[in-house]
Amino acid sequence: TQLLEQSPQFLSIQEGENLTVYCNSSSVFSSLQWYRQEPGEGPVLLVTVVTGGEVKKLKRLTFQFGDARKDSSLHITAAQPGDTGLYLCAGTDSNYQLIWGAGTKLIIKP
Amino acid sequence: DAGVIQSPRHEVTEMGQEVTLRCKPISGHDYLFWYRQTMMRGLELLIYFNNNVPIDDSGMPEDRFSAKMPNASFSTLKIQPSEPRDSAVYFCASSLDSDYGYTFGSGTRLTVV
């Protein structure tokens, strides 16, 4: 069974701090996606990474795909209360199935 | 485009009743997915369709669950009879293909009492 493990499961920090969320697996993925989900809504796609070592930036968010395409990280610089939400990673496996992590619940306190 | 549209947003029903959840995917998206989300189990894929054809329903919990996609713009997920353990948020999502990412609807929060 392929698994995507996210860490930490829960993170509560002050506004202005930096943070990193990790998504790890023993399996190789052809692509990996990051989503943010706010209460009462569905997940919203933030980014897709497809190349090993790829780095993508979305304003204060930096996404990196591991060289071996087995892991990924999301770094947020100067976190703001609007960044609060559940962050989910999902990888496309060799059978074109999307494997989901359990999510990191992030709270940014003003 | 209005995105993926799900109805109803909330549903409260009594155990044993039939429940039908509805979804309108984004026009042009060939893939449609039904997910269930709970605190304990996270996001679980129930079934997905490609060009209106069910491809993988291995995630459907049991025979009480059924899904249809009669045309490219409409899908239903039916639970009959419903049970309290079916209480969850049910999401519909559509996609051009998995590498493009999914667009999710706002979900249906189902409570079975």
CA distance A18 to chain B (A): 26
Residue A1 in this model has a pLDDT that exceeds 70: no
Question: What are the E-state strand segments in A1-110?
Answer: 5-7, 10-14, 19-24, 31-37, 44-49, 55-58, 61-65, 71-76, 85-92, 98-100, 104-109
Angstroms from B39 CA to nearest CA on chain A? 9
Residues of A in contact with B101 (CB under 8 A): 33, 45, 48
Please name the residue of chain B whose CA is at the shortest distance from the CA of residue A41.
B106
Indicate yes or no: CB of A44 within 8 angstroms of CB of B45: no
List CB contacts (< 8 A) between B98 and chain A. 31, 92, 96-98
Q: What percent of chain A has pLDDT over 70?
A: 98
CB contact under 8 A, A45 and B43: no
Q: Is A58 helix (H, G, I), strand (E, B) or coil?
A: strand
Reported confidence tier of residue B1, pLDDT bands at 50, 70, 90: low
The pLDDT of residue B61: 87
* A contacts of B105 (beta carbons < 8 Å): 42
Q: For residue B101, give the nearest of A30, A33, A101 by CB distance.
A: A33
Supply the pLDDT for residue B98.
62
Look at residue A83 and give its three-state secondary structure: helix
What tens digit of pLDDT does each residue of B33-82 get?
999 999 999 999 999 999 999 999 999 988 999 999 999 999 999 999 99
Quote the pLDDT of residue A39: 92
Query: What mean pLDDT is predicted for residues A83-94?
Result: 93
Q: Which residue of A has its CA nearest to B47?
A: A97
Residue B101 predicted with pLDDT over 80: yes
Span A4-13, average pLDDT: 96
Task: Supply the pLDDT for residue A97.
Answer: 82
Of A81 and A95, more confident: A81
pLDDT value for A95: 78
**Closest residue by Cα to residue A19 from A82, A103, A80:** A80
Mean pLDDT over A15-43 rounds to 95
Contact, A75 vs A61, CB < 8 A? yes
Q: Which residue of A has its CA nearest to B38?
A: A102
pLDDT by residue (tens digit) across A36-73? 999 999 999 999 999 999 999 999 999 999 999 999 99
Res B2: pLDDT? 80
| Contact (CB<8Å) B98/A42 | no
Q: Distance between CA atoms of B92 and B52, rounded to whole angstroms?
A: 14
- Give pLDDT, residue B97: 77
